[in-house]
Chain A
Amino acid sequence: MSCPSAEELSALYDGVVPRDAARALREHLSTCPRCAQEFATLHRLLKVAARPAVPAGLAQRARGLTRSSPPGKSIRPEQRLSRQKPRSLSRR
């Protein structure tokens, strides 16, 4: 099988994948270092204990994401968002 999607991997992690599909996923993980690593990383991420306080400015900037053309300060992500083309596509 090809490498599982984020949806499949996270469902396997939560133990909600039907039995046969889960077996196939496990089989894949035990032979694919990339996916095994992905799974292990997911596990570590979900055990993040430190919860640093969210900076006040971040919440505000996150809210700014919905405005299509905000009064920009510098090269802030709000502006990047207003670009039509997703940057990941435009670069490749």
Chain B
Amino acid sequence: MPSSTETAPPADAGAGGRRSDGPWSRLPVGLRRSALLVALLGVWQLYVVAAGVSPLVFAGPWDVAAAFAEGWGGGALVGPTLTTLRILGLGMLIGTALAVVLTALAVATRFGDDLLTLLTAMVNPLPSVAILPLAMLWFGLDETVLVFVVANAVLWPMAVNIGMGFRTVPATTLMVGRSLGLRSWRLIRDVHLPAALPHTVAGVRTGWAFGWRTVIAAELVFGVAGAQGGLGFFINEARFHLDIPDVFAGLVTIALIGIALDLLFTLLERRTVVRWGMKEGAAL
């Protein structure tokens, strides 16, 4: 059931709230947010013009917009973006596959369960970029390093979530599957996996956010490997050449992709677990 994303504006202007009922809160929420954005951009531009900060450390929104348009039109930003997305996608694919295998093992055997619990407890608290030096040692100066670091970042939160999903499959659901004669892999594929989907989707959302932060951070440290650097590398390069508008354009690109991907996963969630009534509080 498609439902609108935005809640009606009167909802937060209700009686008993702390907020005053001024004319501002009577405006539609979209308008309020756009107005705020424009105002912030205005202040930013005004500050740059009036204070006369050095263009070597700070750029105004106008210059950033120009650099952004130039970067996307001229292609300077296209390559790095694609590279970063490719690394992220590959890392997530590998991380997710490993998470599914590890969790299936943990559900099937006591040994796998102990192993997953121990590994998760050990690796999860480690910020995932921290293994970058080790990865460089193992894989050399190759894109594999970045993929490895991302896969590792994605694997653990996914495994924790999928594991939780597997363990909380209702007993009745499992009995229905078993009484249909389903065993081992078919039972996992046709009952455990779909029943665990709400947790898996939550895991993917956490996982990709981890992976996204990690890939950018790793690129900042790692620099370029092979022909094409990613967005982190692009930003570092721009800083090196004192091209501050480009630094900002890179940051804006990273933020926009983050927003877009999050939206994509929200949509995915709505198409699946929300539509199937498997998520509490169905209206997102």
Q: Do A and B bind each other?
A: no
